[in-house]
Structure 1
Amino acid sequence: MKTSIMIVEDDQAIRNFMTATLDLNAYQCIAAESGEQALMYAVTNRPDIIILDLGLPDMDGVDIIRKLRTWSQCPIIVVSARSEDKDKISALDAGADDYLTKPFSMDELLARLRVAVRKLSPAQAGEEAVFVNGGLKIDYTAGCVYVEGQECHLTPMEYKLVCLLAKNAGRVLTHKYILKEVWNSTLESDIPSLRVFMATLRKKIDREGKYIQTHIGVGYRMLRITEGE
């Protein structure tokens, strides 16, 4: 099966040239010309690899990377005219896997693609854009959380916490693991702050204690809800 590539580029000439070249090299291509279109195609087409321009007409490419990374680990190769180190660091910190500065040679892009293809994991095909657990639903693409059909308005930190628990449903996550994943910290002095955030999260989505279980002195676990519960 051909590796599927989504090209996100608003310049039609560049988009057409890249698509034609990749087609000739046995890749299956789809193209998006805006951020909104890219996010929609990412859900509906599930490309194996994304080639992303940062300067899009409707949203910044870095914001697109952040949105994608809430639910997908699909390799993202940035191609951009932005050449400052701070721009590269911003994109890579947001979750991009590689960064090419325009103008670039197609030979170099093809080489970067071959590296990305080697990193593809069969597990990536099982990623879902929506998590459902009983009456709890997380729409990773939209960044929204619903309980019994009602949207819950979470802070960015609360959203990160519920997503981390959901993606590890059934597993006990230690305080240190959560701190490292969410705060990039493993300091025990940050555990009280984590408890405060977890308490506010539970008030919003889990007043009855159906979804989040506390393991005293250890951490937290997202409980799996079976049908009928």
Structure 2
Amino acid sequence: MSLCVLLVEDDRELRATLSEALRVEGYYVLAAASLADARALLANAGANGGVHIVLLDLGLPDGDGESLLVALRQGRGIPVIVISARETEDPKIRLLDAGADDYLVKPFPLGELLARMRVALRHRGTATERAVTRYTQGDLLIDLRAHRVQRGGEDVHLTPTEFKLLARLVRSAGQVVTHRQLLADVWGAEFTEHTHYLRLYMGQLRAKLEADAADPRRLLTEPGLGYRLVESED
């Protein structure tokens, strides 16, 4: 299952932008707009493998994010990166002393955030790898960062769910991804028994991406296990 990020950010536009960017990079994202939402998500995530890293804004509608940082440091080893518009030195020092793993001032480049997340996760013993975001095979091009799929030079329209499923397979191109992994990463941990979802959406993807959907050469079924996207030519 993908590493889980809890993003605590009250700015709706930034929250949506970061959530989508993190999903493209292979993370499973829980997004909260307030301290109350964040606490509820943390409590519920424990039953599904837990949260691996927290991205924490400070100025939230129901309090300061610093209070959540203090709570996280009382018995939890989850890395926390503060993302804030506060540029002065004192808050940075105080929050780093309070246990924050890092502090990024808005606005920041996405690449820098991703790099700092990888460092923070490695320091806590969680292995990370750069996500695969580009795939080519024959006349098929998939660019996850650009949110583009082309076949024979023509754009292919995918629904949001079709794109999420294809993106998950791209990130493990050449490897079998089990039914449970796909269902958990695309639909959520509570859907791991709904294998009929996979049959339906894989059929739709094959109709759009295969020369012959009845005889797939790219999106392969591994009987009793899951599905595999053939290895990229990149």
Alpha-carbon deviations, 1:169-205, whole Å to 9, x = none?
Answer: 11112222211221223543x1122201110111011
Compared with structure 1, are the counterparts of its residues 112 and 131 closer, same or farther at alpha carbon in structure 2 (3 Å cutoff)?
farther
Match of 1:132 in 2: 136
Q: Give the Cα–Cα distance (whole angstroms) in 2 for the partners of residues 96 and 214 of structure 1.
A: 33
Cα drift, residue 212 of structure 1: 0.6
Report the secondary structure of 1:185's partner residue: helix
Conserved 8 A contact 2:9-2:57: no
Compared with structure 1, are the counterparts of its residues 107 and 62 closer, same or farther at alpha carbon in structure 2 (3 Å cutoff)?
same
Q: Give the Cα–Cα distance (whole angstroms) in 2 for the partners of residues 176 and 83 of structure 1.
A: 31
Cα drift, residue 224 of structure 1: 1.4
Conserved 8 A contact 1:83-1:101: no
Q: Give the Cα–Cα distance (whole angstroms) in 1 for the partners of residues 138 and 127 of structure 2.
A: 27
Match of 2:207 in 1: 203
Q: What is the CA RMSD across the aligned residues, in angstroms?
A: 3.9
Match of 2:37 among 80, 83, 86: 86
Counterpart of 2:19 in structure 1: which amino acid? R
Within 5 Å, which residues of 2 pair with 1:88-127? 97-102=54-59, 105-110=91-96, 111-114=99-102, 117-120=119-122, 123-124=128-129, 126-127=130-131
Alpha-carbon deviations, 1:63-87, whole Å to 9, x = none?
Answer: 112221233269x9x9x9x645237
Counterpart of 1:118 in structure 2: which amino acid? A
Report the identity percentage. Answer: 24
**1:213 partnered with 2:220:** yes
Q: Give the Cα–Cα distance (whole angstroms) in 2 for the partners of residues 181 and 64 of structure 1.
A: 19
Taking structure 2 as the reference length, what is the TM-score of the superposition?
0.56
Match of 1:65 among 18, 43, 53: 18
Alpha-carbon deviations, 1:64-116, whole Å to 9, x = none?
Answer: 12221233269x9x9x9x645237878xx9x9722132266212444423495
Report the secondary structure of 2:165's partner residue: helix
Counterpart of 1:61 in structure 2: which amino acid? L
- Which structure 1 segments of 5+ residues have no match? 1-50
Within 5 Å, which residues of 2 pair with 1:162-181? 162-181=166-185
- Which structure 2 segments of 5+ residues have no match? 1-6, 46-51, 67-90, 103-115
Conserved 8 A contact 1:71-1:140: yes
Counterpart of 2:56 in structure 1: which amino acid? Y
Q: Give the Cα–Cα distance (whole angstroms) in 2 for the partners of residues 88 and 131 of structure 1.
A: 37
Q: Give the Cα–Cα distance (whole angstroms) in 1 for the partners of residues 100 and 207 of structure 2.
A: 46
Within 5 Å, which residues of 2 pair with 1:134-149? 134-149=138-153
Compared with structure 1, are the counterparts of its residues 89 and 203 closer, same or farther at alpha carbon in structure 2 (3 Å cutoff)?
farther
Conserved 8 A contact 2:173-2:232: no
Compared with structure 1, are the counterparts of its residues 134 and 112 closer, same or farther at alpha carbon in structure 2 (3 Å cutoff)?
farther
Report the secondary structure of 1:70's partner residue: helix
Compared with structure 1, are the counterparts of its residues 129 and 226 closer, same or farther at alpha carbon in structure 2 (3 Å cutoff)?
closer
Match of 1:4 in 2: none
Moved more, 132-141 or 215-224: 132-141
Cα drift, residue 148 of structure 1: 2.3
